Amino acid sequence: MVTLIQLEYVIAVDTYRHFATAAQKCFVTQPTLSMQIKKLEEQLGVILFDRSRQPVIPTDIGEKVIDQARLILRGTEKINEIINSFQEKVSGELKIGIIPTLAPYLLPKFIGNLVRKYPGVNIQIEEIITQDILKKLKTDLLDVGILVTPLNDSDITEKPVFYEEIKIYSNPNHSFSKFNGIRLEDITSPELWMLHKGHCFRSQVINLCSNNNSNENSLPFKYESGSLETLKKMVDTEGGFTLLPELAFNGLNESQNSRVKTFENAKPLREVSLVTVRNCAKAKILGILSEEISNVLPKEMLDKNRGIVVEWQ
């Protein structure tokens, strides 16, 4: 008979692609883990892992078995969710992944209050890019991602929470700081500072301004950042302009605020969602997380109809 322990061991090997590491994460010896997986393979009459490869990889049939094993274990987690709901308890572990263009602006607004209100929830947070969040969600290393959607991924469930307006931030000597009539077509410019590849906000900016990098760069040097805060400082000291999502404008001084401009012919938005794998077992905790985030934001940011969501894929 297949046991839950065997399924946990198989999933661990698939996640870490290394028997010793998987055993360490499962708090057992490697011989114990290897023996249980070998026993499962004999019971099923198939080989689940190609051990001749380093790192080890699942066989074709192994991939199908592992996918089903993940569904089974998520189903067992739902039993705990049912019991907690019946007892009106909010407890357990919540592993959150959040993208770098949201983390410094959103987390301080709600996370402390969430921890204090629900001390029975053990919260772990990672700040990583979207593709890494999706990979960790699908291997159960994260429970939920806070990131920009839509993703158009059939394995993922998205729950939109709020909508940030995308605005312009310019140097005081740039023409944008002198007038408000800025159109989308005006920002296709070599004076635009951008995030580097891998950030979904970079893709949104490219989609928004159709920047194909064909213009000669008129900035003092070529630089692509991994931080919105760095982009703001580069604009302040080196000229040019950048685009930023709404929350990134928090904490600006009066002079900086005067250089924040909106578009006259559009209101571009980025949609921020809680993202999980399908059949996620932690519905109650995730509902609380969504509510806590919504409660700390202005009501207009919860309204999708105030603008147009910009795709990033």
What sign does the CA torsion over 190, 191, 197, 203 have? negative
Task: Let me know if 192 is exposed, middle or buried by CB neighbors in 10 A (0-12, 13-18, 19+).
Answer: buried
Structural domains for the chain: 4-83 (1.10.10.10), 92-313 (3.40.190.290)
Cα–Cα nearest to 150, from 306, 283, 273, 289: 273
Rg of the chain over Cα atoms, rounded to whole angstroms, equals 23
Point out the residues of the chain with pLDDT beneath 70: 81-89, 210-225, 281
- d(Cα 249, Cα 20) in Å, to the nearest integer? 46
Determine the pLDDT at residue 93.
84
- d(Cα 217, Cα 213) in Å, to the nearest integer? 8
Q: Are strands 268-277 and 144-149 parallel, antiparallel or unpaired?
A: antiparallel
Cα separation values, 166 from 77, 117, 148, 228, Å: 39, 32, 13, 13
Question: What is the pTM (predicted TM-score) of this model?
Answer: 0.78
Q: Which ranges of the chain would DSSP assign to H, the alpha helix?
A: 4-16, 19-25, 30-44, 60-86, 103-117, 130-138, 200-209, 228-238, 254-257, 283-295
Determine the pLDDT at residue 213.
47
Determine the pLDDT at residue 220.
53
- pLDDT tens figures, 84-115: 665 566 778 899 999 999 999 999 999 999 99
- pLDDT tens figures, 217-254: 555 555 566 789 999 999 999 999 999 999 999 888 89
- d(Cα 117, Cα 106) in Å, to the nearest integer? 18
Q: Are strands 192-195 and 241-245 parallel, antiparallel or unpaired?
A: parallel
88: alpha, beta or left? (left if phi > 0; alpha if psi -120 to 50): left
Determine the pLDDT at residue 86.
56
Number of residues that this document lists for the chain: 313
The single residue listed with the structure tokens 């931080």 is 227
Determine the pLDDT at residue 84.
65
- d(Cα 194, Cα 203) in Å, to the nearest integer? 10
Cross-strand partners of 176: none
Give the tokens for residue 151: 């993703």
Determine the pLDDT at residue 217.
57
